Amino acid sequence: MRVAELELDLEAFEGPLDLLLTLVLKEEIDLAEIDVAGIVLAFIEELLGRDRSENGADECELGESDLEACGEFLVLVSALLELKARLLFDDEAAELAELEPEEAAEELARRLAAYRRTKEAAAWLTSRLEQEQDRFFRLGPAPLRPPVSRPVAPHDPAALAAALRVLATPPQAVSLAHMALRYPPLEQFVQRFRSLLAGRSRFDFENELGELSRVEQAVAFLALLELGRLDEVAIKQAAPFAPIRVERRDTERSSAWTSARSA
């Protein structure tokens, strides 16, 4: 299912977590049939669009905090995709499905639950605000109050130097500023995998990750799922954490693929 078919108004969601939470809780949507990759990309597009409209047409790069939020999100969503991917595997899927969901999925559930609580707390605040609409109080000083004197205690000038040093200390977190490319386009990996399979019939996904960063790996995985969705490849994994084998789809197996998908 493509994003367009879902008729999701992305602007109506606060962020990818909000969207995912809605999808997860919405019983009638079968996650296995959702084009999660499409949703992620659409959301990134949406963020880019927001950035463009806020900063003018010349600046359309994602802000760094956006990037970090999305990078983390991609890693988390890959856990969800992992679950989803298992539904697309043909042979081993039944066995895999019985296994404990792994840590990453657990983390995703935890994060979604934390976000859910935040939303409920926000809803509580909203209703509170409505109840309090008829409570007026003075903002600012009283009209005829006595003059105020608020003496400031003497301070050591060393405190100024210390404050400036705080401002001159770079943050600890590794800067992502060097990632000039920001998000590698999904299409880049789709093309790469296609050309790989033009030369041979299969490859191991891990072998292609090489020097890729975590975010790039996540995008590569999305590209892989996209190819699966487009029915161009078969994705196989003998056991959890075993190498993921990608095979060029041949005609004999496409019927098995179709039945596995609709199961």
Partner 1 sequence: MDERPLRLITSSPLDALARTVEALLVVASAPLPLEDLAAAADDDVERVEAALRLVGERHSEGRSGIVLEHVAGGYAFRASREAAGACSRLFERPVQRSLSQAALETLAIVAYLGPCTRPEITRIRGVAAEATVANLLERGLIAEAGRDDAPGGAIRYRVTPLFERVFGLASLAELPRLDDFEGDAETIRERLHVVAAQRGA
Site for partner 1 in 15-54 (CB under 8 A): 15-18, 21, 24-25, 30-32, 47, 54
Placement of tokens 């909000």 in the chain: 18
Residue 55 vs 191, nearer CB to partner 1 = 55
The angle at the Cα of 21, spanning 25 to 55, to the nearest 5 degrees, equals 150
Q: List the one residue from 9, 28, 103, 143 that touches partner 1 (CB under 8 A).
A: 143
Judged by CB under 8 A, the number of residues near partner 1 is 102
The total of other beta-carbon atoms located within 10 Å of residue 12's CB is 9
CB of 207 to partner 1, least distance (A): 27
Question: With respect to partner 1, which residue has the nearer C-beta, 115 or 212?
Answer: 115
- Rounded CA-CA distance 228/252 in Å is 16
The label of the residue with tokens 């197996």 reads 253
Residue from 68, 208, 232, 247 in contact with partner 1 (CB under 8 A): 68
Binding mask 81-120 vs partner 1 (x if CB under 8 A, - otherwise)?
--xx-xx-x---xx-xxx--x---xx-xxxxxxxxxxxxx
| Cα–Cα distances in angstroms (integers) from residue 179 to residues 72, 105, 150, 175, 219, in the given order | 15, 27, 49, 9, 14
Which residue lies nearer to partner 1 by CB, 4 or 164? Answer: 164
Query: Interface with partner 1 includes 198 (CB under 8 A)?
Result: no
Q: Does 175 bind partner 1 (CB under 8 A)?
A: yes
Structure tokens at 57: 């047409």
Q: How far is the CB of 16 from partner 1 (least distance, A)?
A: 5
75 belongs to the binding site for partner 1 (CB under 8 A): no
CB of 34 to partner 1, least distance (A): 10
Coil, helix or strand at residue 157: coil
Tell me the closest approach of the beta carbon of residue 139 to partner 1, in angstroms: 6
